[in-house]
Amino acid sequence: MKGGGDLSDMSEKELIKKCKNGDRDAFNILVENYQHRVVNLAYGMLSSTEDALDAAQEVFIKVYRNIDRFEGKSSLSTWIYRITSNVCKDFLRKRTRTIQSVSIYEGTDSDDDDRPMEIKDSSPTPQEHIEMTETQREVRRALDELPEEYRAVIVMYDLEGLSYDEISMALECPVGTIKSRLNRARKALKKNLSEKRELFLK
């Protein structure tokens, strides 16, 4: 990567400025910085590795095309989480839609540096799947059964460690609504887990 060492030492504000000026290497650094968090959130909401990777690619396409509109009123991470949430909601509404592979550089002046963006598969290896405990599988299944809005807040708060304010801005809901959803999500998750354990013990 050209100049990657220098770019990696830049502040996020400087990186954003370079991205707005069309610096592809800067954008690649941004993707590297956020792709794991985006894939994790997408997987938490979609419960599918394949869909999570497709969603992550679409998220970064949107980030690339709209970075000029980012005004810094919220943090970059909050802005990206908001895009991720909206993309995942769209996936859930149109689950059967096939996402075609799109280059983030489509329509730009091309040279041999044009290349499709690649989102790394951060899903567990087969060995890691084997090592996953039954409790983890139960939690995953119980989480999958939660309504979309409950799943989003519990993934963001309990799994990704976002604050109430960050989730509020990402989901564009009042903090009070986020707290209420999180409380209800935890109760529903606990109920789902209790029911699954009762079935398992019968």
- What dihedral angle (degrees, nearest 10) is formed by the CA atoms of 181, 184, 187, 192? -80
pLDDT bin (cut points 50, 70, 90) of residue 184 is very high
Could you tell me if 39 and 56 are in contact, meaning their C-beta atoms sit under 8 angstroms apart?
yes
Backbone dihedral angles phi then psi of residue 73, each to the nearest 5 degrees? -70, -25
Query: How far apart, in Å, do the first and last CA atoms of the chain sit?
Result: 57
- Residue indicated by tokens 């839609």: 97
Q: Is the pLDDT of residue 120 over 90?
A: no
Rounded mean pLDDT, 53-59: 94
Rounded mean pLDDT, 64-76: 90
Q: Which sign, positive or negative, has the C-alpha torsion 191, 196, 201, 202?
A: positive
Quote the CA–CA distance of 54 and 192 in Å, as a whole number. Answer: 28
Secondary structure of the chain: what % helix, strand, coil (to 5)? 70, 0, 30
Q: Quick one: which of 169, 164, 189, 166 has its CA closest to 179?
A: 164
Could you tell me if 114 and 105 are in contact, meaning their C-beta atoms sit under 8 angstroms apart?
yes
Quote the CA–CA distance of 16 and 7 in Å, as a whole number. Answer: 11
Say which residues have a Cβ less than 8 Å from residue 75's Cβ, sequence separation at least 6. 166
Q: In whole angstroms, how large is the CA radius of gyration of the chain? A: 19
- Residue indicated by tokens 């149109």: 94
Average of per-residue pLDDT values in the chain: 79
Between the alpha carbon of residue 13 and those of residues 25, 185, 187, the distances in Å are: 15, 35, 40
8-state DSSP, 162: -
At 7-48, the pLDDT tens digits run 556 788 899 999 999 999 999 999 999 999 999 899 888 888
pLDDT value for 99:
41
pLDDT value for 1:
41
Q: Quick one: which of 67, 62, 129 has its CA closest to 90?
A: 62
pLDDT bin (cut points 50, 70, 90) of residue 133 is low
Q: Is the pLDDT of residue 56 over 50?
A: yes
